[in-house]
């Protein structure tokens, strides 16, 4: 039996070029999103309970993503007409209007992103890809079909990526880290002289020269 090869982008790679049909019409990803952050998230299938809860949760946070200049795009291997009907059902039954596009992926698209896993049938796994304004893959999350995602975590990591690009590393649980709250970790010293000076400067607060932190610039 021929083994199916799973391709998936790596962190820092250019996002795979996708020409897709969506509920908002054809899209070129990431070309149509150039200059914007974006979250592309896959779901196993339309008209399933866990996926429905996720789509409602993403929609409830659209305003938060928009504040971050971040576009949302859903995706599964269902056809466009299925997506449209499901979106209509969500609006009619749950009174939630899904305003972001949903990609109708084929197997080729799904395989480019590592969404079809052996032993999981033809449904895509739950994946989240965060891309930056240059079209680079910055973060990936993969969940099994039976576990719904925490959408607040997706909002958090988009915000954290944007801040880390400008200010420094982000601690665990940010912005409510147990040690330093919402403060930012200073990059470690790269030479002995800088390490010695770290503990003398008042610019940072330090536990030691390799663990210094500074206030978040808002």
Q: Could you read off the pLDDT of 35-60 as tens digits, one per residue? A: 999 999 999 999 999 999 999 999 99
pLDDT tens readout for residues 114-143? 776 555 555 667 899 999 999 999 999 988
Residues of the chain with pLDDT > 70, as a percent, come to 93
**Residue 42: which of 141, 159, 139 has the closest Cα?**
141
- Whether the pLDDT of residue 199 is over 90: the answer is no
CATH 3.40.30.10 occupies which residues in the chain?
A: 18-150
Residue 206 annotated among the catalytic residues of the structure: no
Please give the Cα distance from 65 to 59 (Å, whole number). Answer: 10
CB 75 within 8 A of CB 103: yes
Residue 114 pLDDT: 77
Residue 5 pLDDT: 56
Topology adopted by domain 168-218: Antioxidant, Horf6; Chain A, domain 2 (3.30.1020)
Map tokens 């200073």 to a residue: 186
Residue 6 pLDDT: 59
Instruction: Label residue 189 by pLDDT band (50, 70, 90).
Output: confident
Residue 107 pLDDT: 78
**Residue of 51, 70, 206, 212 marked catalytic:** 51
CATH code of domain 18-150:
3.40.30.10
Residue 200 pLDDT: 84
- Whether the pLDDT of residue 86 is over 60: the answer is yes
Instruction: Label residue 1 by pLDDT band (50, 70, 90).
Output: very low
Residue 121 pLDDT: 54
CATH 3.30.1020.10 occupies which residues in the chain?
A: 168-218
Could you tell me how far CA 14 lies from the centroid of its own chain? 15
DSSP the chain: -PPPPPP---TTSBPPPEEEEETTEEEEETGGGTTSEEEEEE-S-SS-HHHHHHHHHHHHTHHHHHHTTEEEEEEESS-HHHHHHHHHHHHHHH-----S-EEE--HHHHHHTT---TTSTTSPPEEEEEE-TTSBEEEEEEE-TTS---HHHHHHHHHHHHHHHHH-B--TTTTSBTTTBT-EEPPPPSSHHHHHHHTT-SSSEEEETTEEEEPPP-
- Whether the pLDDT of residue 69 is over 90: the answer is yes
**Cis amide leading into 188 (omega within 30):** no
pLDDT tens readout for residues 135-164? 999 999 988 888 999 999 999 999 999 999
Map tokens 């059902």 to a residue: 89
| Residue bearing the bigger pLDDT, 202 or 133 | 133
Residues whose CB falls within 8 Å of the CB of residue 93, separated by 6 or more in sequence, listed in order: none
């Amino acid at each position: 039996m021929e083994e199916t090869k799973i391709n998936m982008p790596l962190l820092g790679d250019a996002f795979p070029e996708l020409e897709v049909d969506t509920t908002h019409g054809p899209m070129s990803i990431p070309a149509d999103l150039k200059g914007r952050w974006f979250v592309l998230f896959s779901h196993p299938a339309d008209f399933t309970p866990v996926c429905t809860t996720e789509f409602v949760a993403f929609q409830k946070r659209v305003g938060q993503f928009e504040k971050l200049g971040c576009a949302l795009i859903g995706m599964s291997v269902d056809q466009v007409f299925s997506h449209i009907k499901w979106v209509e059902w969500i609006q009619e039954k749950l009174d939630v209007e899904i305003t972001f596009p949903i990609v109708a992926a084929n197997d080729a698209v799904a395989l480019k992103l590592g969404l079809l896993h052996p032993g999981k049938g033809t449904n895509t796994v739950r994946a989240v890809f965060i891309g930056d304004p240059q079209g680079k893959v910055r973060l990936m999350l993969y969940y099994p079909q039976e576990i719904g995602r925490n959408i607040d975590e997706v909002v958090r990591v988009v915000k954290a990526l944007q801040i880390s690009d400008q200010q420094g590393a982000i601690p665990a649980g940010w912005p409510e880290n147990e040690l330093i709250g919402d403060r930012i970790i200073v990059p470690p010293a790269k030479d002995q002289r800088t390490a010695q000076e770290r503990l003398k400067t008042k610019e940072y607060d330090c536990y030691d020269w390799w663990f210094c932190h500074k206030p978040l610039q808002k």
